[in-house]
Amino acid sequence: MSEFEESGIGEECGVFGCVAAGEWPTQLEVAKVLTLGLVALQHRGQESAGIVTSNGVNPPTYNTLKGMGLVNNAFPPENLLKLRYGNLGIGHTRYSTTGISELQNCQPFVVDTLHGKIAVAHNGELVNAAALRKKVMRHGVGLSTSSDSELITQLLALTPPMEELDAPDWVARIKNLMHETPTSYSLLVMYTDVIYAIRDPYGNRPLSIGRLVPISKLHTAGAGEGETEGWVVSSESCSFQSIGAKYYREVMPGEIVQISKHGVKSLSIVPRPEGDLPAFCIFEYVYFARPDSIFEGQMVYTVRQRCGRQLAVEAPTEADVVSTVPESATPAALGYAQQSGLPYVEVLCKNRYVGRTFIQPNTRLRQLGVAKKFGALTDNFTGKRVVLVDDSIVRGNTISPIIKLLKEAGATEVHIRVASPPIRFPCYMGINIPTKEELIANRPEFEDIAGYIGATSVRYLSVEGLLSAVQGGIPSLQGKDDRINTNASRRVGHCTACLTGKYPVELEW
């Protein structure tokens, strides 16, 4: 919903990789698959985009394409031509958390090493990045960007020293890296003819694998292995449909998966410290992911709907209609309506052309605020008591003018129901959250939040309610899976640090 958008809360990135199966060169046109895959991950980052392809021979030719802005603008057609001959490749779409928006921070990051070029695309944020930077620099390496991706490439190149090896054991190096930094990263590392897909031991960021099959077999049960046209790996499974891939499986927390033209192979699972649970970011469910993505065996849309239902149980309301702040809160609002039995209506319509405008607002225009963005569908709520469901209230300054708009247009009551608990703590694992002081839940106004934002009443979903909505639907792991260690029953856990202050690992400063 809009509160996140307005507050500048955002995901750091999306990563996407593709390997053509079978004999090379293929007809797959990997660069096109990568581009479309990134378009489907665009909601995870709109600042810049990049792709790197390899022709897969030894020594390989890498081609890189990077640009600022949306994927469709960042890659002009004449430049895409350069990447024509790629047989595998990785891509990245970036959301800037640090505010330095420059082409040189654009990923994937490619470096030349003693044993050839590696390319890295990263989603997440290393919790101990500062210590690692110091370590690398103490070794005498200069770092040319502030991005974790460059740090990761240099760490991969650095330890153990290159000269000890005849050929690089990248998997050993990746394991070393994973021991040096516990979280948070979903990582794609491309080297010559193979992509390593890695999730940190806590599984903080998502990563899923898909299989490209003939379009005609896309929706049938049995496209045999022989019909595989290629493999893709993506931050979210929502990108599979748009490029004609079948969902295959998730990369497990701590797992290193090798993807090559010969198929998908699980190489290792780096374990968490004894007793630690996985810590998949719960806000991927609440807000970040596209609703048609699948995490842990469940569709994001359905989880959001369950949140809405749980909210209706926890915070019932005497009202006439239930509605949503479009568009992301809609599943929760429909869930609330179903559970409560109140009718669902639309009260706001969105102007999809409102974007960055060059106009310097004068006083008058500044007062109008949200009015440019939403139109009031007055017939649906005049004279009525409205339950308005939203994902979250971050700073409280977006929902406030919406309430004003509804009340002035004739709503008799506006009850705000928030389908997640209050955000109170910073995230150090890749989500850009306002400072503690800016979060409404940490401010004195929160005592009378309803009064502050002008609502008739305000209620939040509880942490327990959110966890039960998320964890209630996770299916148990099937034994037939091809991951290395399948005898362990799936243990469930999620990162709720921004809600509870309990971080998955101890933070050092």
- Give the Å distances, CA to CA, from 19 to 48, 217, 224: 23, 19, 18
**Does residue 137 touch a copy of itself according to CB under 8 A?**
yes
Q: Among the candidate windows 17-25, 31-39, 174-182, 493-501, which touches a copy of itself by CB under 8 A? A: 31-39
The minimum distance between CB 422 and a copy of itself, in angstroms, equals: 27
Nearest residue (CB) to a copy of itself, 433 versus 470: 470
Rg (CA), the chain: 24
Which residues are known binding-site members for [4Fe-4S] cluster?
281, 427, 495, 498
**Does residue 76 touch a copy of itself according to CB under 8 A?**
yes
**Does residue 153 touch a copy of itself according to CB under 8 A?**
yes
The minimum distance between CB 29 and a copy of itself, in angstroms, equals: 6
Burial 281-312 (b: 16+ CB within 10 A, else e): bbbbbbbbbbbebbbbebbbbbbbbbbbbbbb
- In this structure, what token pair is assigned to residue 321? 């209609």
Nearest residue (CB) to a copy of itself, 309 versus 459: 309
**Does residue 88 touch a copy of itself according to CB under 8 A?**
no
Nearest residue (CB) to a copy of itself, 95 versus 503: 95
Q: Determine the distance from the C-alpha atom of residue 488 to the mean position of all C-alpha atoms in its chain, rounded to a whole number.
A: 27
In this structure, are residues 255 and 483 in contact, taking their beta carbons and an 8 Å threshold?
yes
Which among 288, 330, 354 has a CA at the least distance from the CA of 41? 288
DSSP-assigned letter for residue 120: E
Q: Is 13 a catalytic residue?
A: yes
Long-range contacts of 446-453 (CB under 8 A, 24+ apart): 446/422, 449/393, 449/396, 450/416, 452/396, 452/400, 453/393, 453/396, 453/399, 453/400, 453/403, 453/416
Candidates 295, 301, 381, 428: give the one binding a copy of itself (CB under 8 A). 301
In this structure, are residues 51 and 108 in contact, taking their beta carbons and an 8 Å threshold?
yes
The active-site residue, picked from 13, 106, 238, 307, is 13
In this structure, are residues 236 and 285 in contact, taking their beta carbons and an 8 Å threshold?
no
Q: Among the candidate windows 122-130, 203-211, 291-299, 457-465, which touches a copy of itself by CB under 8 A? A: 291-299
**Does residue 422 touch a copy of itself according to CB under 8 A?**
no
DSSP 448-494: GHHHHHT-SEEEE--HHHHHHHHHTTPPPPPTT--SS--SSPPP--E
Which of the residues 339 through 378 are near a copy of itself (CB under 8 A)? 343-346, 349, 351-362, 364-365, 367-368, 371-372, 375-378
**Does residue 170 touch a copy of itself according to CB under 8 A?**
no
The minimum distance between CB 145 and a copy of itself, in angstroms, equals: 9
Query: Binding pattern to a copy of itself, positions 371-410, x when CB under 8 A?
Result: xx--xxxxxx---------------------------xx-
Which among 277, 295, 274, 276 has a CA at the least distance from the CA of 286? 295
Q: Among the candidate windows 112-120, 280-288, 386-394, 445-453, which touches a copy of itself by CB under 8 A? A: 112-120
Helix 148-158 × helix 129-138 angle, to 10°: 50
Candidates 57, 130, 162, 507: give the one binding a copy of itself (CB under 8 A). 162
**Does residue 244 touch a copy of itself according to CB under 8 A?**
yes
Nearest residue (CB) to a copy of itself, 109 versus 202: 109
Element (H, E) at 281: strand 280-281
How many chain residues are in contact with a copy of itself, going by CB under 8 A? 98
CA–CA distance, 228 with 213 (Å, rounded to integer): 5
**Does residue 84 touch a copy of itself according to CB under 8 A?**
no
Candidates 29, 227, 320, 481: give the one binding a copy of itself (CB under 8 A). 29
Q: Among the candidate windows 158-166, 252-260, 393-401, 457-465, which touches a copy of itself by CB under 8 A? A: 158-166
3-class state of residue 345 by DSSP: coil
- In this structure, what token pair is assigned to residue 286? 């609440």
Nearest residue (CB) to a copy of itself, 229 versus 390: 229
**Does residue 276 touch a copy of itself according to CB under 8 A?**
no
The minimum distance between CB 476 and a copy of itself, in angstroms, equals: 18
Tell me the β-bridge partners of 190: 119, 195
Nearest residue (CB) to a copy of itself, 244 versus 493: 244
**Does residue 101 touch a copy of itself according to CB under 8 A?**
no
Cis? peptide before 184, omega within 30° of 0 = yes
Nearest residue (CB) to a copy of itself, 402 versus 439: 402
Amino acid identity of 385?
R
Which of the residues 466 through 485 are near a copy of itself (CB under 8 A)? none
Q: Which residues form the catalytic set?
A: 13
